[in-house]
């Protein structure tokens, strides 16, 4: 990846860092942690879209936008209270509206882990991670048409975990 400090990275670099980390976690059978990283990548992608919309539509200071993002309370709030209204009446409105259905699945799976202490098994984690991929790439491509998340390459190993390597789906 990059040696740039995390705080100095752009939203897209942070999103990719989360994705890189989650593929390693998934390959090590750490399903719950991988799922949480996927949800984090989705929320960071939402931050990117919101910042891009604010930059193109107005002249708000960065600290004001950061405060709005913080106060929106998670990915659902960011979609409903910030991005939805920002794209209303634009060519992006229907695409963002279509992506909103993916947010519910991602958010519920994440909340089951971080707020209720549940664990995820491989199949539900993999399904939610692929949903997060569709969300992230679908949203970011509204602003950067060539964006694609990069997975870690699986490392050859002789233990049983090699058979569980994360196999990304198609966008």
Q: How many domains does the chain have?
A: 1
Residue 156 counted as domain residue: no
Give the pLDDT confidence of 18-45 residue by residue, as tens digits: 999 999 999 999 999 999 999 999 999 9
pTM metric for this prediction: 0.88
- Give the whole-number percent of the chain exceeding pLDDT 70: 88
Residue 3 counted as domain residue: no
**Beta carbons of 41 and 22 less than 8 angstroms apart:** yes
Residue-number span of the structural domain to which 76 is assigned: 11-147
Question: Which two structure tokens, joined as six digits, stand for 62?
Answer: 């960065």
Give the pLDDT confidence of 99-152 residue by residue, as tens digits: 999 999 999 999 999 999 999 999 999 999 999 999 999 999 999 999 999 988
Q: Give the domain CATH number at 73.
A: 1.20.120
Residue 36 counted as domain residue: yes
Residue 49 counted as domain residue: yes
Residue 163 counted as domain residue: no
Residue 160 counted as domain residue: no
Residue 19 counted as domain residue: yes
């Amino acid at each position: 990846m990059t040696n740039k400090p995390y705080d100095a990275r752009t939203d897209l670099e942070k999103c990719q860092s989360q994705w890189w980390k989650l593929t390693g976690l998934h390959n090590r059978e750490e399903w719950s942690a991988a799922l949480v990283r996927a949800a984090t990548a989705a929320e960071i992608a939402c931050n990117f879209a919101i910042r891009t919309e604010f930059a193109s539509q107005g002249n708000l200071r960065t600290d004001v936008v950061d405060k709005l993002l913080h106060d929106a309370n998670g990915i659902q709030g960011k979609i409903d209270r910030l991005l939805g209204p920002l794209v209303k009446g634009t060519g992006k409105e229907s695409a963002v509206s279509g992506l909103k259905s993916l947010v519910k699945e991602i958010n519920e799976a994440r909340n089951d882990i971080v707020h209720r202490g549940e664990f995820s098994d491989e199949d539900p984690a993999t399904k939610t991670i692929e949903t997060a991929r569709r969300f992230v790439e679908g949203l970011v491509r509204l602003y950067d048409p060539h964006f694609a998340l990069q997975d870690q390459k699986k490392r050859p190993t002789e233990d049983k975990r090699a058979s569980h390597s994360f196999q990304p789906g198609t966008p």
